[in-house]
Homo-oligomer: A and B are copies of this chain.
Amino acid sequence: MNIENISSNKTFGGWHKQYSHRSAVLNCDMRFAIFLPPQASDGTKVPAVYWLSGLTCSDENFMQKSGAQRVAAELGIAIIAPDTSPRGDDVADNDSYDLGTGAGFYVNASQAPWNRHYRMYDYVVEELPALIEASFPISDRKSISGHSMGGHGALTIALKNPLQYQSVSAFSPISNPVNCPWGEKAFSQYLGNDKSQWLAHDASELMRTAQQFLPAKVEQGNADPFLEEQLKPETLVAAAKASGYPLELNSHDGYDHSYYFIASFIEEHLRFHASYLRT
């Protein structure tokens, strides 16, 4: 597994780096970003938080805008930020912002033309962590978080793989994609029209039927313009109540869907993950 370093910036005593690599799963070249805290500089293995970004994003948004590196450097946690879809001239795409590149939705597409490349679920769950743990001083202790489409990704991936992660969190997640316009559009294209296939990637359905629990923390702004039509946190709360899932969902007056919201509360999420990653 070869990876190529694209950029390096020292920050908070650690390093932000971007790498490109050939993804066998996605059948294209991919870029990811990593923050290595100062505690890893001597080769000591550190745990990692994987961050999944939202629609239209790349590996750059969280690294540039969240301010997470300050606390990650203090806590000795690496951060891994993958891209949000396969990329490249031969990758199927769509003119709309919420389908195709930048909108992989962290599923394995079963439908043409998407099924040639769009396997972000396998990429995030299997290929990328294997690459990371083989290439960097990073242990196999990991947690996962994300925003909006990436909040959906983080929740569904953790709920489907509770033994692989120590904790899960999300900001403004698409909590019930089988019942919202963003989810219906993407799932019908990627997974086909049989809606029973969609439920395996619906955070509310997975939480409602969960048997194994992970510590889970969700942050939601009450001034988020996508709250009622797309995000539906109330379905996640109801699902957690049904199964007894240990979900902490915090609502915040005045906050919207932007990184200004994420930056305001990312410290609490990193400390939450650290408390499970380091024990």
Contact = CB atoms under 8 A, between A and B. Distances in A.
Interface of A: 9-13, 16, 64-65, 67, 69-70, 221, 223, 252, 254-256, 258-261, 263-264
Kindly report how many copies of this chain are found in the complex they form together.
Answer: 2
Contacts of A264: 10-13, 70
Given A13-B264, A64-B65, A67-B70, 4 more contacts: A16-B260, A64-B259, A67-B263, A69-B260
A222 B254 CA distance: 41
15 contacts: A10-B221, A10-B252, A10-B254, A10-B256, A10-B260, A10-B264, A11-B260, A11-B264, A12-B263, A12-B264, A64-B65, A67-B70, A69-B260, A70-B263, A70-B264
A182 to B, nearest CB: 21
A174 to B, nearest CB: 20
Contacts of A64: 64-65, 259
Q: 5 tightest CB-CB pairs across the interface, nearest first?
A: A67-B67, A11-B260, A9-B260, A10-B254, A10-B255
A15 B239 CA distance: 34
